[in-house]
Amino acid sequence: MSENIKKLILGIETSCDETAASIVAHYGLGRGKILSNIVRTQLKEHENFGGVVPELAARSHIIHLENIVQKALEEANIELDEIDAIAATAGPGLIGGVLVGLTFAKGLSAATNKPLIAVNHLEAHALSARLSDEVSFPYLMLLVSGGHSQFLLVNNIGDYQLWGTTIDDALGECFDKVAKMLSLGMPGGPKVEEMALKGDNKRFKFPRPLLHEERLDFSFSGLKTAVRLQAEKIAPLNEQDICDICASFQQAVIDIISARSKDAIIKFKQEFPSIKCQLIVAGGVAANKGISKALKEVTLQQDAILIVPPISLCTDNGAMVAFAGAERFALGASDGLDFIAKPRWSLDSEDMRVNQNEL
């Protein structure tokens, strides 16, 4: 092991349907290197159900997690006793899956006498751009995933302000439900995007909920319902109908995301007039090329910087958990074996705070 490595952190992620583990070398705040990043998806386990079944997800984590952790150690060429700390997602997420990963991490911590860091899954997403791009604070974060759609002001490690969130469905969930309505299979988001490329995005006039309100919140439930009603109205659907529905739905999403992002950037510039706005995008929906293109246009128009980490760090993975744990550990944070898994855990809650004086 190189002598200039400050800490080696094992990260474990099991909050939904990816079983993941990673080793990250941490060289100080904002500086890390991924030594391994092993992710096992559960698409085959859930494809017949049209979505993630929590009990099946948790069972799959139990079966595969030990092997995934071992692969992460082997790929990094690291022995378990060389690890300085163990980070694991402790929420929010599907509580069965979260419990599997956190309990496994607690067992490793107790057996090896290594510190445990309980990581907020949303913080792992929020800090991932610091791992890939060494982004400096403060910055604006757009998190769009299967479980979350949020704008966050990232002031520092453990210091977040929620500027906007979904009042009903998350965007990734909405994509998945539209795919299920149209019998497109899993994963829903990429399937809808694929069909949209062959469709007419002006054929159907779907709503843009909350678009003209000043707040930065999202609402996707009404859009999803409008898609269902339109599909029922013109049934039976041929392939072109499906493509046109997907294209019109995706265009509505793009219009919503673009308008909200513009407003969020303007708010950032008002609060930090001397700092160039950096818009960081994370979560699985960040892989959507139509949304990415629209965000590039918005940031260009607003003289802001768009940063999208590699897709391997946007979707759920162990590296972001390891890095978030490493950042907190560098500030002296660790957690007891009595830490309770949380199905819900807001980033702007008081228990996210951490001392900002690096040890």
pLDDT digits (tens, 9 = 90+) for 304-327: 999 999 999 999 999 999 999 999
> How large is the average pLDDT for residues 201-213?
94
> How large is the average pLDDT for residues 292-308?
97
* Per-residue tokens: 135: 């982004």
How far is Cα 43 from Cα 18, in angstroms, rounded to an integer? 9
Contacts of 12 (CB under 8 A, 6+ apart): 20, 21, 65, 69, 86, 87, 88, 89, 101, 104, 105, 318, 321
pLDDT digits (tens, 9 = 90+) for 92-108: 999 999 999 999 999 99
> How large is the average pLDDT for residues 6-20?
96
CATH number for domain 7-129+313-352, candidates 3.30.420.10, 3.40.50.10190, 3.20.20.70, 3.30.420.40: 3.30.420.40
* pLDDT class of 46 with cuts at 50, 70, 90: confident
Q: What is the pLDDT of residue 226?
A: 97
Q: Are 141 and 265 in contact (CB under 8 A)?
A: no
pTM of the model: 0.93
- Listed in sequence order, the DSSP H helices in 39-87 are 43-46, 54-76
Q: What is the pLDDT of residue 359?
A: 38
The residue ranges of every structural domain in the chain are 7-129+313-352, 135-311
Q: Are 83 and 114 in contact (CB under 8 A)?
A: yes
CATH superfamily membership of 135-311: ATPase, nucleotide binding domain (3.30.420.40)
Q: What is the pLDDT of residue 4?
A: 62
* Per-residue tokens: 205: 């006039």
Q: What is the pLDDT of residue 219?
A: 95
How far is Cα 279 from Cα 117, in angstroms, rounded to an integer? 27
How distant, in Å, are the alpha carbons of 100, 159, 283 from that of 349? 24, 9, 21
Which of 353, 345, 275, 329 is closest to 92 using CA atoms?
A: 345
More confident residue, 49 or 176: 176
How far is Cα 18 from Cα 15, in angstroms, rounded to an integer? 7
